Chain A
Amino acid sequence: MNASLGAGDALLSLRHEDVAYSGKIALKNLTLTIAEGEKVALIGPSGAGKTTLLRRLYQLDPNNCAFVHQHHVLVPQLSTFHNIYMGRLDHYSSWQNLINLLKPTRSAMQEILPIVQKLGLEEKMYTRIGELSGGQQQRVGIGRALYQGGSIIMADEPVSSLDALQSLEIMQLLVEAGRTVVAALHSIDLSQRFFHRIVGLKHGSIAFDLPVRSLTEDRLSRLYG
């Protein structure tokens, strides 16, 4: 059942692992390997364990992973610049962070400008993100992950609150954001469109783990059945 498509070495791997979440076993006897360069989508009904699995994978190598959060973890009162800067708070001293909060420093601005340009948010650089649209906020979230750096990008339902058009834009940005991308998704359609490998989860175990071209309607309807 283990289909590794990527050419690179194994970056993250779990072997026969149980993952308990607040005392309850959420994932049973799980084995999964993700190699460098893979684009992996985790799908499955709600409560299947997608978020738990994603968090577990993140813990395997937190220094190398950047997490794209849903937009509600951004700070609406702060600007686009600050919300992106927050991806690397741990790289600067408390004092530098305080100064930068009061008045953005030139060096931080120069670091963040290319990211903002890539996301098409130059004009919103100093706008409080509470005033941005849902799609723009999600782009800021990706910006934070990009600034944070690391070779693996992870995302948990990154487009769940966006309309169809914005979803496509965001997914495109997301899969291009890192060499290796792992995302939990609601939408089967988006997962097939943007990812190479699909992992279906049900009741805390892996129901299938297939390259996207071998995924059949039958498999999918059984997953959600």
Chain B
Amino acid sequence: MLRTSLYFLAIACAAFFLADISVTTLDPWQEFARMGRGLLTPDFFNLPDFGQALFNTVSFALVGLTIAVVLGALLSLFFESTPVRLFCSFIRAIHELFWAFIFMPIVGLNSVCGILAIAIPYSGIFAKVYAEIRQESDQRPAEALPPASTRFSRFCYGTLPLIFGHLKDYTSYRFECALRSSAILGFIGLPTLGYHLETAFREGLYSEAAALLYSFYLLIISIRIWARAKFIVIPLLISCLFISWETSFSLVGLSRFFLYDILPWPMRAEGFYVGTGELVLVPLELGKWFWDIVVSQALPGIWNTMLLTQIALVATALFTLATFAFASRRFFSARVTGCTYLLFVVLRTTPEYILAYIFLQLWGPSMLPAIAALFLHNGAILAYLTANNVNALESTFDAAQGRFNRYLYEVLPRCYGHFLAFLFYRWEVIMRESAILGILGITTLGFYIDSAISRDHLDTALLLICITAGINMSIDSFSQVIRKRLHISGHVASRIIGPGESGS
């Protein structure tokens, strides 16, 4: 385990020297002071369309998640089949924002786009986690049933009752994530909280931005009150009734998207210039088109995405190891651990996309804001979990004296395996986020995808999205191989943060 850790540390150090890390703004501290003033003077009374944005944020999350629960549950029943597993891992390897990019030309920039952008990747996540919960459950009750019982009856009586509570817990945890996803969909123009947040930040209206941010925190904290499993039908029905279901969807548009828009440009070029919209097959040109995109966009994008991912992964690890002790009663008084917990909760609740956006305003475009955002958000999640783990360890009355000794000899060796399992689960999440942060102007894959979209080059965008998904899937399986080799399991982790977690 130590050797693997050191390898990753060495890679991150090398990446750090290769990456573009700089502060380009003239006076970051002045801007910081203005933001700080804004955070202290939130202005709740000057928010146009705030109610609608709040409603949309909740509705997209709720309706999207409901669809995902149904689809995910169905897919999870067939998860033993390799094509299903690959399909699920593909759809969850594509970030919500990229899904929104894909649906935008088909249905338009509206509620349906937002709902689908959440429903599709979350189906893949639920399929995987539901299947894992089922596979890890006690098989004996199902085996003890009469041998001739149908598969369906066997599942309903022997398996479902055992895992139902667990499925419910995981799903409600995911609801919080879906709210974060829904909020940040606003950053690309959907009518959720993120839209107003972006506008406020862009115009330097920090008091309004603070008010929006605080309302988002309140929304997340209040989930426990209004999103109880028994009554969830009520907000769900309200969402379905009052959401705007208007779309620009048409079968013609759909077939145009699949049969024309996303086909490589060389196939369409000739017909486009002549005006007939005819398609031609020119293998040589196609090869050149593909090669150009790979060399000028995919490779630089992959390189920067991987640099950012590896640096952020190790920075997350270091942040976790340096801070979790402050949240553990084993080391500090209730006052210290309470404050640390609060800080972790704030960092975990704030989507990394928003953190990166804020840091970008402060420091200008380089990898620095992205690294900081990724390690603060992910590190807070991991430190929170690790502290909980440490609190659950049995303590001895003759434990080593001195916090530092206790940390090194009693605590770290016991929790390191679990910590590493958590970290490797987050690896693919961090990579997906690294790619997405490109939309903010850092030259990772998201940057090239975003520019292709804004130039209306759907063919290029889709190719790059598929490449991103492919890399994400490779990291997912590589992380599995490492976890297996090191014999570290994330049983607890898979329950709390889940392997397909998207932190946004």
Contacts and interface: CB of A to CB of B under 8 A. Distances in A.
B153 interface: yes
A193 interface: no
Given A72-B140, A101-B156, A77 B150 contact: no
B153 A97 contact: yes
A90 interface: yes
A86 B152 contact: no
Nearest to B154: A89
Interface residues of B, number: 21
Contact of A73 (B144, B148, B152): B144
A67 interface: yes
A148 B162 CA distance: 22
Contact of A89 (B138, B140, B146, B161): B146
B145 A89 contact: yes
Contact of B158 (A75, A76, A94): A75
* Most chain A beta-carbon contacts within 10 A, residue among B138, B140, B141, B150: B141
Contacts of B146: 86-91, 148
Interface residues of A, number: 24
B157 A90 contact: no
Interface in A38-81: 62, 67, 69, 72-78
A78 to B, nearest CB: 5
Q: Is the interface of A mostly helix, strand, loop or mixed?
A: helix
B275 interface: no
Contact of B144 (A69, A77, A98): A69
A148 B144 CA distance: 12
B296 interface: no
Contacts of B158: 75, 86
A77 B165 contact: yes
Contact of A94 (B140, B147, B152): B152
B156 A97 contact: yes
A73 B147 contact: no
B157 A78 contact: yes
A71 to B, nearest CB: 10
B143 interface: yes
A82 interface: yes
Contacts of B149: 89-90
Interface in A77-129: 77-78, 82, 86-94, 97-98, 101
Given A75-B141, A97-B156, A98-B152, 6 more contacts: A62-B147, A75-B158, A77-B165, A87-B146, A88-B146, A89-B153
13 contacts: A69-B144, A72-B138, A75-B161, A89-B146, A89-B149, A89-B150, A89-B154, A90-B150, A93-B150, A94-B150, A94-B156, A97-B150, A98-B152
Interface of B: 138, 140-141, 143-150, 152-154, 156-158, 161-162, 164-165
